[in-house]
Amino acid sequence: MRLILLLSAVLFFSVSCQAQPKNEFGLKVTSDIKQYKQEIKNNPILELVNLREYEGLFFDIKYATSENFTKEIIYPSAEAFARKQVATNLMRANKTFNERGLALKIFDAYRPYSATVKFYEIYRDTNYVASPYIGSRHNRGCAVDITLVDMETGEELPMPTAYDNFTEKAHPNFEDLPANLIANRDYLIETMQQFGFKVYPTEWWHFDFNGWEQFNLLDIKFEDLKEL
Ligand SMILES: [Zn+2]
């Protein structure tokens, strides 16, 4: 009898753990649109919002073009989604930049997990590309790749490197640069920090939203999000 009880307890435990199966890299990733809808119903802070519906941001979604380190078009359309609180704070930061005649330009925001797996297959240096065993904060809707532009002309401010430059020059503490580049970069970093974003140690353009740990990994397609 005890054995049966034990066996049924083990069986129950293994079944309940399987509620959301782990993927081949040992992670739980929400890839089903129905599951995502249930998640945001249970907890509305999990909702991804479309940054294109906010006014005053500029966009150059590099992974929707072949102008990126993979040289391939990764995204079927040039979309930019983020969790609602991330979007709210981003817009607050943008307002501050506007006071100086500047605005944020988005290179990338929410990135479906399958794109992270693809990046890793192409470029295995996890200093620059997230490991599929961990996932990216972009997969959580909690990271943005950005720069500053003139809010009238849309022209980019000079920065230490172009986007996705995988060298030391892209590190936010790299100092062997002309003073104006350092000033532009540090102004971006310091202002974003005031609004709850932290720069990544090897990429001046990448910012993680503080509290990203509360948000799960997602592999929901842009097309599915647009239909909601
Ligand atoms: Zn990034």
DSSP string, 114-182: HHHHHHHHH---TTTS--TTT--TTTTT-EEEEEEEETTT-PBPP-SS-TT--SGGGSTT---S-HHHH
| Residue 145 in domain | yes
Q: Quote the ligand 1 centre to 179 CA distance (angstroms).
A: 25
CA separation, residue 58 to residues 4, 41, 61, 93 (Å): 62, 30, 10, 14
Tally of domains in the chain: 1
Q: Quote the ligand 1 centre to 203 CA distance (angstroms).
A: 8
Q: Quote the ligand 1 centre to 190 CA distance (angstroms).
A: 17
Residue numbers of the domain that contains 44: 23-226
Q: Examine the pLDDT at 181 and tell me if it is beyond 50.
A: yes
Q: Quote the ligand 1 centre to 80 CA distance (angstroms).
A: 12
Q: Quote the ligand 1 centre to 82 CA distance (angstroms).
A: 13
CA separation, residue 43 to residues 34, 36, 214 (Å): 14, 10, 11
Q: Quote the ligand 1 centre to 7 CA distance (angstroms).
A: 46
Question: 136 and 143 in contact (C-beta within 8 Å)?
Answer: yes
Find the CATH number of the domain harbouring 91.
3.30.1380.10
Q: Quote the ligand 1 centre to 129 CA distance (angstroms).
A: 9
Q: Quote the ligand 1 centre to 107 CA distance (angstroms).
A: 9
| Residue 33 in domain | yes
pLDDT band at 12 (very low <50, low <70, confident <90, very high): very low
Q: Per residue in 43-87, pLDDT tens?
A: 999 999 999 999 999 999 999 999 998 899 999 999 999 999 999
Q: Which of 36, 171, 62 is nearest to 115 (CA)?
A: 62
- Mean pLDDT, the chain, integer: 92
* CA distance linking residue 228 with residue 221, whole number of Å: 11
Q: Quote the ligand 1 centre to 19 CA distance (angstroms).
A: 30
DSSP per-residue letters across 36-86:
HHHHHHH-GGG-EEEGGGSTT-EE--GGGSS-STT-S--SSS---EEEHHH
Judging by beta carbons within 10 Å of its beta carbon (0-12, 13-18, 19+), is residue 202 exposed, middle or buried? middle
| Residue 15 in domain | no
* CA distance linking residue 204 with residue 158, whole number of Å: 12
| Residue 18 in domain | no
Classified as helix, coil or strand, 199 is strand
Give ion ligand 1 contacts, CB < 5 A: 145, 206
| Residue 4 in domain | no
| Residue 144 in domain | yes
Q: Quote the ligand 1 centre to 212 CA distance (angstroms).
A: 13
pLDDT band at 123 (very low <50, low <70, confident <90, very high): confident
| Residue 8 in domain | no
Q: Quote the ligand 1 centre to 192 CA distance (angstroms).
A: 14
Global pTM?
0.89
Question: 33 and 80 in contact (C-beta within 8 Å)?
Answer: no
Percent of the chain's residues with pLDDT above 90? 82
Q: What is the mean pLDDT of residues 3-17?
A: 49
| Residue 27 in domain | yes
Q: Quote the ligand 1 centre to 118 CA distance (angstroms).
A: 15
Q: Quote the ligand 1 centre to 20 CA distance (angstroms).
A: 27
* CA distance linking residue 71 with residue 13, whole number of Å: 45
Question: 225 and 48 in contact (C-beta within 8 Å)?
Answer: yes
> CA dihedral defined by 65, 69, 74, 79, rounded to 10 degrees?
-60
Q: Quote the ligand 1 centre to 180 CA distance (angstroms).
A: 23
pLDDT band at 185 (very low <50, low <70, confident <90, very high): very high
